[in-house]
Structure 1
Amino acid sequence: MKEYTAFDIGGSFIKYGIVTENGDLREQDKMETPDSFEVLIQRITDIVHRHPDSTGIAVSAPGAVSDEGIIYGISALRYLHGPNIKHRLEEKTGLPVLIENDGNCAGAAEIWQGTAQGKKDVLTVVIGTGIGGTVIKEGRTHKGANLHGGEFGFMLLGNPDTGRLESWSQLAATRALTRYAEREKGVEADTLTGEQVFELADEGDPVCVKAVDRFYRFLALGLYNLQYIYDPELILIGGGVSAREELVRCINEKLDDLLREAPVGTIRPALDVCHFRQYANLLGAVYRFIQNTPASWMNNM
């Protein structure tokens, strides 16, 4: 059975492990993210050399990742942007390398082994301090002309509180939830966490009840729009908020309201939560490797 060495590059840590062609994750571990590009390449190379049976290297990375192996855009690791990481790793290891955007990797994991198995047209929406995600059409990731496919957080919506257009991230990410609650309570910024706002709402705090209600309303608005833009079979929700048992039910209640308010739209988004959490990017990177590595490479391994 073929095995692949997978890496998930984050701002603070790099997760890594051995993933089989069947999607089994073995020997997972992590290391602190190096502070330079050359050290990063050497650390990855050292780990790969410790696993001589590896068929290839699959890397999940932040930023706008091109097929050629160059990462554009911005991220917490500035040294990633510019060098051709794919070529450098292939030269150092002699193995084929695939590098993919971390959000796209998470979506690929869901198609391969997660909630979206058997589906062809799926969106993943990852909700954190901002909102990102993945567009999967015909079972393959759609990156877009500018490598910004799935950057749903840039969608503009009207904010009834200000009368201005704001991005979906500004209105429906967890940071938006806490900012609204802090402002309405008159407390300093960064006083509350998203989890605290939800807990206070569960206890009946009127400000937090309104903040959570508003949060679900804006989530439903964005998901309604995405349904009509892409018409996916399924929309999966990820990020820390996806652990809340009531999440899908509450969003569906807001979708009921929207469908009554705008009866011209009758298609309800099919919602579910992502199956994978901390290891999704490792699995998804390997699945993208299997999908995209030329057979000529693989036949010579």
Structure 2
Amino acid sequence: MKAYMVIDIGGTYIKYAVMDREANKKKSGKFPTPKEGLETFLQLIGDMVEKYKKSYELEGIAISSPGAVDVKTGMIGGASAIPYIHGGSMTNLLKERTGLKASIENDANCAALAEGWLGAAKDADYYICIVIGTGIGGSIVINHSILRGASLHGGEFGYMIMGESYQNGISPLQSTWSLTASTNALVREVERKKSLTQGLLNGEEVFRLAEMGDPAALEALERFYKKIAIGIYNLKYALDPEKILIGGGISKRREVIEGINRELRLLKDDISSLHIEVEACEFDNDANLIGALFHFLRAHA
């Protein structure tokens, strides 16, 4: 049976699946991301491929990876929690190790491609995904292709400056969207309001506090929705996509999507009259795997 080895490289775990062309998982699992170095990583992938070659006719390896991925060369630029993946061509290394064709794509881009192939954006030709987590990232997708930009920074929405410039000696770079409107920023704000030690809370606990009526959590969430809505408003008028999708763990909470849309409805007047609305991404844990497979199928059509 023809199938594909699909791998999602994460800082803590490497997830994998044997998939058919329709992204149905035949086998799947995960193992801790090796800390020893590149050779250990390649050995683990090679052994896994050899194992599944006995049961499946593997057509290739599809990789989802952190970092600034150059899909043409297979090299991973930038930085990540896995230093050894940055340097040589990952696709060439895997081809040499396994004898299979290989492709690689950035993990956020994979998640966006999954939505356009089988998820919430499958009826859209032009959409953006905004992933809210420790920071804010995302992707711009046009006709199932990622808009990468001249420096591979297309979709790095979190770098947008949202605050005023150089007041009280503070650089505007301290008021980027990631630093002021991410889940991490929300948590830190609640900790400050409650005079708690940084790192004591997480996102789940902030929402639990809000559900209990905690004033600090409720106020911080309202500000969070406003700041997210302002960034989305800017992106809508700059890019004018058909759909705007919200990803990241926080997007699974219905009140988050409702809160953002409520604030977006308020950002309208006689001039700024566009209807702006967001939806949650459909896929969660398997998004990177599905998108990596889609990228491979297009690259080797």
TM over 0.5: yes
* Residue 58 in structure 1 maps to residue 62 in structure 2: yes
Q: Displacement of 1:229 after TM fit? A: 1.5
Aligned runs of 1:167-246 on 2, under 5 Å? 167-246=176-255
Cα deviation per residue 1:61-113 (whole Å; 9 max; x = unaligned)? Answer: 10000021110001001111111111111112121100110000001111111
What is residue 43 of structure 1 aligned with on the other side? Answer: 44
Residues 1:210 and 1:81: Cα distance change in structure 2 (over 3 Å): same
CA distance in 2, matches of 1:31, 1:201: 35
SS of aligned partner of 2:196: coil
Alpha-carbon contact 2:133-2:184 (below 8 Å) kept: yes
Alpha-carbon contact 2:130-2:245 (below 8 Å) kept: yes
Q: Displacement of 1:146 after TM fit? A: 0.9
CA distance in 2, matches of 1:192, 1:90: 44
CA distance in 1, matches of 2:147, 2:97: 30
Normalising by structure 1, what TM-score?
0.93
Cα deviation per residue 1:44-64 (whole Å; 9 max; x = unaligned)? Answer: 111112222111100001000
Cα deviation per residue 1:122-155 (whole Å; 9 max; x = unaligned)? Answer: 1111111111111101221111111111111111
Structure 2: tracts of 5 or more residues without a match:
none
Alpha-carbon contact 2:132-2:250 (below 8 Å) kept: yes
Give the counterpart of 2:265 among 256, 260, 278.
Answer: 256
What is residue 14 of structure 2 aligned with on the other side? Answer: 14
Identity %: 43
CA distance in 1, matches of 2:2, 2:139: 27
CA distance in 2, matches of 1:208, 1:22: 43
Aligned runs of 1:71-220 on 2, under 5 Å? 71-158=76-163, 165=172, 166-220=175-229
Normalising by structure 2, what TM-score?
0.93
Which moves more between the two structures, 162-171 or 35-44? 162-171
Which moves more between the two structures, 170-179 or 251-260? 251-260
CA distance in 1, matches of 2:144, 2:83: 31
Structure 1 segments, 4+ long, off by >4 Å, are none
* Residue 284 in structure 1 maps to residue 285 in structure 2: no
Q: Displacement of 1:9 after TM fit? A: 0.5
Alpha-carbon contact 1:224-1:268 (below 8 Å) kept: no
The residue identity in structure 1 corresponding to 2:40 is V
Q: May I ask how many residue pairs the two structures share in their alignment?
A: 291
Q: Displacement of 1:210 after TM fit? A: 0.8
SS of aligned partner of 2:268: helix
Which moves more between the two structures, 242-251 or 94-103? 242-251
Which moves more between the two structures, 264-273 or 9-18? 264-273
CA distance in 2, matches of 1:168, 1:73: 20
Alpha-carbon contact 1:119-1:139 (below 8 Å) kept: no
Alpha-carbon contact 2:264-2:277 (below 8 Å) kept: no
CA distance in 1, matches of 2:247, 2:192: 26
Which moves more between the two structures, 63-72 or 197-206? 197-206
